[in-house]
Structure 1
Amino acid sequence: MFKAIQPARAALSVLREMYDRTPDKALFTFIDDKGHREDALNVRQLVKTADGIARSLPDWGLKKGDRALLVYPPGLDFVRAFVGCIMAGVIPVPVCPPDPSRLARDMPAFSALAADAGARGVLTNGAYEKARSRGLVASLFCRDAVAWPAIPWHRTDQRFTPGPEPIPWYTPASQNEPALLLYTAGATGAPRGVQVTHGNLYHEVAASTKDLRLGWGTTAVSWLPHHQSAGLIGFIMGTLFGSSANTYLISPQGFAQRPALWFETLSSVRATHTAAPDFAFDLAVRKTTPEMRKRWDLSSLRHVVSAGEPVRLETVRSFLEAFAGCGLRPEAFNPAYALAEHTLTVAVGGKVALRLDRESLGQGRVVPVEEETGRPAITCVGCGPITKEHARVRIVDPLTRRPCGPAVVGEIWVSSATKALGYHAQAALTRKVFHAKIAGSDDTTEYLRTGDLGFFHAGELFVAGRHRDTMLLKGKGVYPEHIEETVRECHAAIRRGGVVAFSVLPEDAGVEQLVVVVEVRDRKIGADMQAEVVRAVRREVLEAHGIRCDTVVLGAVGAVPKTRSGKLRRQVCRQAFLAGEVDRAETTLRVATVGRGRRGSADDSRSGSRQVAMQR
């Protein structure tokens, strides 16, 4: 099992111990998109290559405390550079690599992140540098060339001259010293740099090791991006802390293009642990066949963690049913609640599905109902109990900052040793989000405001939705996830992963109005089919929720903005709608509005010249 480390130690303390005692221990294996083992690292190999990188950082103008962007395609070169930075006391900033063929789309966000981080250098490998160079050459022939930030780039996959002994590894003066800067996915707005400390990492891995029973008998598989908390801290840092015998990494793009790759790997390596957000389990059911599943043995899996987005009961049921023949045990499925600002997890191991009265939930009250009552209901899946040592989680009224009573929905506030230091270069926002205090109470604890609404029931934490996304329609609170769930199933032409709901307050209306943006599978569908989809959306939302859908936007693939990892960006979509950008977007096929909507028209269908052009 995991050997507890002293709290004063640094992020690489256990790696150092493993180098001294078990240098040949396997750490990471990277699986290519065809399922072949492309690269591997044991302790000795990782330390050797990371040592070469750490020695080179001062020559590249990077000193202790400086921040370096890590821009790598999926693979183990990222791990080598990440460890090299921490060895030298340079703060790694993992980022999603801009697509060199789509710089006009990706560069604004990358440039903003680089500026916000105050990065002194960029580390990458030859594969990405070659792709970047091709993009630079191509941009010479473009009228509106996109410029990269003026930051030095350095390749870390070159051959380094080894020293006689590894360099002295950097040891932080305290646990509260930042170990890395991790940017949020930007699902609710611009990405924010979360300062994760050495102490945060230690306590997170220690808690996960206990909750998920990690140790030397663990074999983990992950396709999660290395620039996000679940992939980086849950799998890469966990392995560096000795909580896995071997961790197999897969490209996120490889999984997206062929979900079977995930299960082929789980089966072939006899994996015990894996994790993914809800959409991945839904995708797995739809993109694998019974014939494929017959070839896989998933009986070794002890923990399949679902976190990163709301866990839907229908997804859980369909996934467990589809993969039951593979030997997957239902008790292995573990819903969880996690966020980067808390390093990773808040609650793990949900076992309860709760059927709630929908109208009461919209009013902030938790009222369980039996199925036979016939009352409109919503099912929420629990995320498990709070198990971190000395953690405090409170349900708080987000407006009054006073604790909510039992069976009342409020904002989730949390304090523990894994609460991150704060947002980089955003002191005011850090005070507001990371140092919140309960009003009218003797409780002096400084809490992290998660921005998520939830409640406790039967000892488990339930997440109802984002406070910022909650809509006020017909005088009651409505969670967009519930509308989206209804719309996904209402017509075969709708892409399940391409539905987003939000509300707007038109100047001439006086009340909030519901907008639903829907991606269709075929952008060439005719006007009659478009109208049929719009009618289906309105009919199902009205029947299921008693709410009129004021505007329905039909779009092609890409109409619904998402993060690179697949999370819906509701607020980004809402702002684009209000700014008129949705109307003008090439992906928009039809905007259908009723009543005195924002556009003031009954139906702005794109059945004119644009529709004709698309059908040629």
Structure 2
Amino acid sequence: MTSTGIHPLEWLEHPRTDTAVEFFDAASSVTAPYTAVAERALAVAGGLIANGVTAGSVVPLLCGNGPDLIAGFYGIQAAGCAVSVLPPPTRVSGDAHRERVRQVIDALDADVLVLDAAHESYAREVVREEPGFASRRRVRLLPTDALAAAGPGRRTAPDLALVQFTSGSSGRPRGVRVSHDALAANVAAIRDWERATERDAWCSWLPMHHDMGLIGCMVVPVSGGNNDLAVCTPETFVRHPLAYLRRFDRGGATITATPAFGLQRIVDRVGPEQLDGLDFADWRALIVGAERIDPALVESFTGLLSGYGLAPSALTPAYGLAESTLAVTGVPVDRSAATVRVRRRELAVGAAVRTDVDGLDEHGIVDVMSCGRPLAGLDVWLAGPEGEPLPEGHLGEVVVTGTSLADGYLDGSAAGTAFCDGRLYTRDVAFERDGELFVLGRLGDSLKVNARFVFAEDVEMMLGRAGLDLNRTCVVLGELGSRAHAYAVLEDLDASCAEVADRVLLTTCPGVERHVVPVPRGTIPRTSSGKSRRRELWLSLSHKNAVAETRREKADALSAAGGPRDSARDHPATRARAGAVRLGEGPEPGQ
């Protein structure tokens, strides 16, 4: 036991006999009782011990969303090791995913890789068929079936429970060290916030290598009480969201979590006629986090499902990050989230934020939805430009303290989000009102114009409201030399979408050089959890922009000297196409 919750491995000794984990897709499902999951986990632990895996080491785990992922996660910890869940490949994974797996294995200094049968051939390619990697590191592949054949085993768990890697949306993914105490504290705080009981059931489509899926929708129900849990893959949800929704019919599931993308997918793909006969009255909590939430999207989602019993107050915005294990703040369950309106031109770190504004100029007004209050054991305050604490109602950087904080990064670096003297400086910008947190975006994804901040998330929200598909859109902001630039990158969208994007950039980013960049489908670099890698995209775009600017300056100098002038370059159509640079030719991140 810890002082803040049940030890995350305690359930292995006495698993519930009346609950189970269901793994489903659109057409079928398989159920594993918790007694069988616990037995499998302890068998995996025995296999790791028998194979000489060193106690206290960090063991990477490569499994799909299935029984072996849960058994492997707990089995590695039961063997006295810490675990790090790797993103499984998808049908569109390529060399970038292989390199990501190699980077994680290197960062963990791992010499073994635990995996399920479905990923053996892929893992062999990753660790043995890349000459440079194979020559510097020998990695043993340990399939869960082979490990489980050794019989059960157990060693004392170390302080370190897992290493979870950040999404990498604002830079290179970083390994976060989470202790068993921090994990237990966050699980207890989340269950208390959700008012979870032994009768609740969870359902999730989220990838389990990501903190929201791993902690919020796997560890919380499993370690917290062996609650019924239904799991599908992200691919199943994307293609068949109705199969996921059906799990909430008549109390089949009562709690889930999703980024705003999940709400949009349901609104886009599920019609009212498909919901006939379904009853969502027992669906208590739909936690929404990971990204800015558009109140207009919430209204569309609740408008679709409220006619079938879902209470609008069940939708529960939250704020969290891997560096605090998962959750930091949340709107109380059964209470609708507050939304306020602020003026874009008044947003400056350290300045007061007025939330009583009104007007018809939607491009000058930002709608911000509350992310709620700090969870038990956590405290949040806002820091000004010099790190000073700010009073309520002022815009500042979110700083977190409390029992759920991780123990820092694997590499100990302090770049970006950073730990300092027991405080977590998140680089996220927010303000407080009536004790609730309203998050606007990340400092690294913002642009300072005339002493005021413009946030990429806010511009994207306006693009979505203008009708663009946000799954194929990304906004990046930054400075190149002395000039501020705003890019709207559009994947396989037509000229009318480009015109819309240009108008939105003009109104949301006044005085900034704007670029609408059409690219082929699949060009925007994404994290393993689906977020856009803005930093990587900015490096590529800004590099091409700098090259183009140098060429223009040389041409202008030649023209001034009486040389030939490229009249086509000055044609409006040519200037409009100037933003359509090719991606992927700039320097690699970090270079």
Q: Which bracket does the TM-score occupy, shorter chain normalised? A: 0.7 to 0.9
> Which of 71, 81, 99 is equivalent to 1:80?
71
| Cα shift readout 1:407-430 (whole Å, capped 9, x = no counterpart) | 211100010100011111x22429
> Which of 511, 514, 520 is equivalent to 2:492?
520
State the 1:209 CA deviation: 1.4
Paired residues for 1:444-459 under 5 Å: 446-459=422-435
Amino acid at match of 1:77: D
Paired residues for 1:150-549 under 5 Å: 150-158=138-146, 160-161=148-149, 163=151, 167-172=153-158, 177-243=159-225, 245-267=227-249, 270-349=252-331, 351-362=337-348, 364-372=351-359, 376-389=364-377, 391-397=378-384, 399-424=385-410, 426-429=411-414, 433-436=418-421, 446-490=422-466, 494-507=468-481, 510-521=482-493, 530=495, 532-543=496-507, 546-548=510-512
* Counterpart position of 1:41: 33
* Counterpart position of 2:10: 13
Amino acid at match of 2:174: R
State the 1:293 CA deviation: 1.9
| Cα shift readout 1:555-612 (whole Å, capped 9, x = no counterpart) | 222232222222122111101212339999xxxxxxxxxx99xxx955248799xxxx
User: Is the contact made by 2:516 and 2:579 (CA closer than 8 Å) also made in structure 1?
Assistant: no
User: Is the contact made by 2:182 and 2:403 (CA closer than 8 Å) also made in structure 1?
Assistant: yes
Amino acid at match of 2:72: A
What is the DSSP-based 3-state SS (H/G/I as helix, E as strand, rest coil) of the residue aligned with 2:480? coil
User: Is the contact made by 1:219 and 1:246 (CA closer than 8 Å) also made in structure 2?
Assistant: yes
User: Is the contact made by 1:407 and 1:456 (CA closer than 8 Å) also made in structure 2?
Assistant: yes
State the 1:285 CA deviation: 0.2
**Distance in 2 of aligned mates of 1:136 and 1:310:** 35
What is the DSSP-based 3-state SS (H/G/I as helix, E as strand, rest coil) of the residue aligned with 2:71? helix
State the 1:51 CA deviation: 1.7
Of stretches 232-241 and 75-84 in structure 1, the one that deviates more from structure 2 is 232-241
* Counterpart position of 1:587: none
* Counterpart position of 2:118: 127
Summarize the Cα distance change of 1:201–1:225 in structure 2 as closer, same or farther, 3 Å threshold. Answer: same
User: Is the contact made by 1:339 and 1:345 (CA closer than 8 Å) also made in structure 2?
Assistant: yes
Of stretches 95-104 and 323-332 in structure 1, the one that deviates more from structure 2 is 95-104
1:91 aligns with 2:82: yes
State the 1:84 CA deviation: 0.9
| Cα shift readout 1:29-63 (whole Å, capped 9, x = no counterpart) | 211342x2224132x21222112211111333312
User: Is the contact made by 1:456 and 1:462 (CA closer than 8 Å) also made in structure 2?
Assistant: yes
Amino acid at match of 1:110: V
What is the DSSP-based 3-state SS (H/G/I as helix, E as strand, rest coil) of the residue aligned with 2:367? strand
Of stretches 49-58 and 541-550 in structure 1, the one that deviates more from structure 2 is 541-550
| Cα shift readout 1:320-367 (whole Å, capped 9, x = no counterpart) | 001112211011110000111001111011621011122112564311
> Which of 22, 41, 44 is equivalent to 1:50?
41
| Cα shift readout 1:382-409 (whole Å, capped 9, x = no counterpart) | 01112313x2211002x41111233211
User: Is the contact made by 2:183 and 2:404 (CA closer than 8 Å) also made in structure 1?
Assistant: yes
User: Is the contact made by 1:85 and 1:92 (CA closer than 8 Å) also made in structure 2?
Assistant: yes
User: Is the contact made by 2:61 and 2:85 (CA closer than 8 Å) also made in structure 1?
Assistant: yes
> What 5-or-longer segments of structure 1 have no aligned partner?
437-445, 522-528, 585-594, 609-616
Amino acid at match of 1:503: L
**Distance in 1 of aligned mates of 2:73 and 2:473:** 36
**Distance in 1 of aligned mates of 2:506 and 2:483:** 17
1:108 aligns with 2:99: yes
Paired residues in the alignment total 552
State the 1:234 CA deviation: 1.4
State the 1:146 CA deviation: 9.4
| Cα shift readout 1:250-291 (whole Å, capped 9, x = no counterpart) | 111211222222102222762110110011101110011121
* Counterpart position of 1:443: none
State the 1:232 CA deviation: 1.3
**Distance in 1 of aligned mates of 2:177 and 2:57:** 13
* Percent of matched pairs sharing the same residue: 24
**Distance in 2 of aligned mates of 1:237 and 1:162:** 26
**Distance in 2 of aligned mates of 1:339 and 1:431:** 13
Amino acid at match of 1:221: C
State the 1:122 CA deviation: 0.4
Summarize the Cα distance change of 1:374–1:100 in structure 2 as closer, same or farther, 3 Å threshold. Answer: closer
Summarize the Cα distance change of 1:117–1:577 in structure 2 as closer, same or farther, 3 Å threshold. Answer: same
**Distance in 2 of aligned mates of 1:307 and 1:145:** 40
Paired residues for 1:561-572 under 5 Å: 561-572=525-536
Amino acid at match of 1:189: G
State the 1:185 CA deviation: 1.3
User: Is the contact made by 1:538 and 1:548 (CA closer than 8 Å) also made in structure 2?
Assistant: no
User: Is the contact made by 1:100 and 1:131 (CA closer than 8 Å) also made in structure 2?
Assistant: no
Amino acid at match of 2:30: E
**Distance in 2 of aligned mates of 1:182 and 1:607:** 35
Summarize the Cα distance change of 1:145–1:167 in structure 2 as closer, same or farther, 3 Å threshold. Answer: closer
Summarize the Cα distance change of 1:559–1:583 in structure 2 as closer, same or farther, 3 Å threshold. Answer: farther
| Cα shift readout 1:198-219 (whole Å, capped 9, x = no counterpart) | 1011111111111101121111
State the 1:486 CA deviation: 2.1
Of stretches 216-225 and 349-358 in structure 1, the one that deviates more from structure 2 is 349-358
What is the DSSP-based 3-state SS (H/G/I as helix, E as strand, rest coil) of the residue aligned with 2:214? helix
**Distance in 1 of aligned mates of 2:545 and 2:215:** 37
Summarize the Cα distance change of 1:582–1:88 in structure 2 as closer, same or farther, 3 Å threshold. Answer: farther
User: Is the contact made by 2:5 and 2:187 (CA closer than 8 Å) also made in structure 1?
Assistant: no
User: Is the contact made by 1:66 and 1:120 (CA closer than 8 Å) also made in structure 2?
Assistant: no
Summarize the Cα distance change of 1:435–1:326 in structure 2 as closer, same or farther, 3 Å threshold. Answer: same
Amino acid at match of 2:382: I
* Counterpart position of 1:442: none
Tell me the TM-score normalized by structure 2. 0.86
Summarize the Cα distance change of 1:244–1:298 in structure 2 as closer, same or farther, 3 Å threshold. Answer: farther
* Counterpart position of 1:71: 62
> What 5-or-longer segments of structure 2 have no aligned partner?
549-568, 583-591
What is the DSSP-based 3-state SS (H/G/I as helix, E as strand, rest coil) of the residue aligned with 2:118? helix
What is the DSSP-based 3-state SS (H/G/I as helix, E as strand, rest coil) of the residue aligned with 1:114? helix
Tell me the TM-score normalized by structure 1. 0.82
Summarize the Cα distance change of 1:244–1:317 in structure 2 as closer, same or farther, 3 Å threshold. Answer: farther
What is the DSSP-based 3-state SS (H/G/I as helix, E as strand, rest coil) of the residue aligned with 1:512? strand
Summarize the Cα distance change of 1:268–1:68 in structure 2 as closer, same or farther, 3 Å threshold. Answer: farther
Of stretches 6-15 and 569-578 in structure 1, the one that deviates more from structure 2 is 6-15
Summarize the Cα distance change of 1:370–1:8 in structure 2 as closer, same or farther, 3 Å threshold. Answer: closer
State the 1:457 CA deviation: 0.4
